[in-house]
Chains A and B, each alone.
Chain A
């Protein structure tokens, strides 16, 4: 038990150190457009956290996060630009958008989570398609193909987040808070109920877990995170257009979660940051970039289905054995 505690502390320290280094070095290394890409990757990490709750903790493959990102984004776009005849402060909109999306996700989840596994996955694909179609064509609310521009920056207590640097520090802070919350959810009673649903829903049912309600709650949390990310996205970019919410991007978020490690909070963040930043870093290889990306996804799934976090855990285990107990290396290796 004691060693267990110590292990968690070490990994937490490593995570903290890495994020600190990240926070200090990134704004120095990247400026302007590149820093904006970093910011967007941090926003995507929020949706990926939602996927990690649904898929990693709950075992439900959902494409719906993207649709809720859209609802959050257009919610903010409508209430902050005065398109509906009134304007509310950006901070209030940032709070209301995830609540709106959570309520919406809860209601949609009540209907869709009656479906099981593959049917549920298809239902969320349908949700993404229907939402995209309306985002793209319905002018009064979504601006049609032109999108909505002129969305104000977020201002917190009179302090306006103007440039990419401000946004970077704000997003890092938000992400750390969210990561801690998600990590708490993982160890809470709700998280354990969700894990039991993932592993065997019949067994979960006999143990007194309300499988349906648990899944609906997880869907609502994922929807809330999606809506929050959408709200941040439009405030950061001052613009929203429908092409972001096409089905292809939904698969991209799932790939992000899988690449980082599906049941790992830090992994989902790393996955989304890597997948968003790497294409920008290798601009010169643009022609082959997507091809390498696809190949990398396949190879990663073949050799490391638990993603980068699974790989680092294996590596850590191996290193620990090598350092502390070199003689037991072979025996331990055989057991693996």
Chain B
């Protein structure tokens, strides 16, 4: 492989890996906080892409309006999602029921998007656009033209992941959320309002997916199949070790890199390659790269 191929593969992989990491983080946060595997996370990413498309293209708002409005709408969606899918089912006698409900939710979200925006893929302009050609703005790194969108995706991903770590590790609120997620009963006894921490977890988790959608919209088109990115995020979660956020991020980036490498050599089989690697991981090191620190609740 020549240098430009390597660089393109690396940047593609890193950018997509960051998107998977955003989704994966959301999945892990929910698994840790309430023990629910959210099968609708991919569709929430898709919804994020559609919402930003509506704000940016259909309403033609400038970017500094789009971002806060999008973030607020993600938070509102998170609350709706929590109170319709999780809240009525929190005491369900059959734990799988809630997982099935998230599958139902993924269908509902997909269909709503279909009804509102139609089934056709929509083209979303990249964040930094080349005024002359209307295409993506390119940057020349060591003689290779790289799209700014990929670099931005990677950077935004890293910044947001850093931010979430900051919230959870440094802020008191983050510690409250973590305490509530590890032992709800004890946290209640300590006076932590677990409904608030659960809502916060949902908001963070779904905002992560929404931002992921915002970033991938211009890379792919905005379409209803974006939900299938969830499976790659799942792969990242498992490779990193379920229940471990750092592991999930590294695992997701690894999945992104494997995917973009596989796309060069076996483009038709790149899905097979990713999931064969996942199966190999499960067989050789079932606890994932970083093991797991907490009990598997899901």
Contacts and interface: CB of A to CB of B under 8 A. Distances in A.
The interface size bin for chain B is 35 or more
Interface of B: 31, 37, 39, 84-85, 88-89, 92-94, 96-101, 103-108, 110-112, 114-115, 228, 231, 234-235, 237-238, 242, 268-269, 271-272, 274-276, 278-279, 282-283, 286, 296, 298
Contacts of A121: 37
A146 to B, nearest CB: 14
B290 to A, nearest CB: 14
Given A255-B103, A287-B115, A118 B92 contact: no
A295 B104 contact: yes
Interface string A110-137: 0110111111011101110110111011
A301 B97 contact: yes
Given A118-B298, A119-B286, A298-B108, 17 more contacts: A55-B96, A61-B96, A119-B296, A122-B238, A123-B279, A125-B231, A125-B275, A126-B275, A126-B282, A132-B271, A254-B103, A290-B110, A291-B108, A294-B105, A297-B101, A298-B84, A298-B104
20 contacts: A115-B282, A118-B296, A119-B282, A121-B37, A122-B282, A130-B275, A130-B276, A132-B271, A137-B268, A247-B231, A251-B106, A258-B96, A262-B96, A288-B111, A294-B108, A294-B111, A295-B104, A295-B108, A297-B103, A305-B93
A112 B92 CA distance: 28
B283 A111 contact: yes
A289 to B, nearest CB: 9
Interface of A: 55, 61, 111-112, 114-119, 121-123, 125-127, 129-130, 132-134, 136-137, 247, 251, 254-255, 258, 262, 287-288, 290-291, 293-298, 301-302, 305-306
Contacts of B105: 294, 298
Contact of B296 (A117, A255, A290): A117
Q: Is the interface of B mostly helix, strand, loop or mixed?
A: helix
B104 A129 contact: no
B231 A129 contact: yes
A255 B104 contact: yes
In the A-B complex, list the 6 residue pairs whose CB atoms are closest, starting with the nearest: A297-B104, A294-B107, A133-B272, A294-B108, A305-B97, A291-B111
B282 A123 contact: yes
A287 B112 CA distance: 10
Given A130-B275, A298-B104, A290 B111 contact: yes
A123 B237 CA distance: 12
B93 to A, nearest CB: 6
Nearest to B298: A118
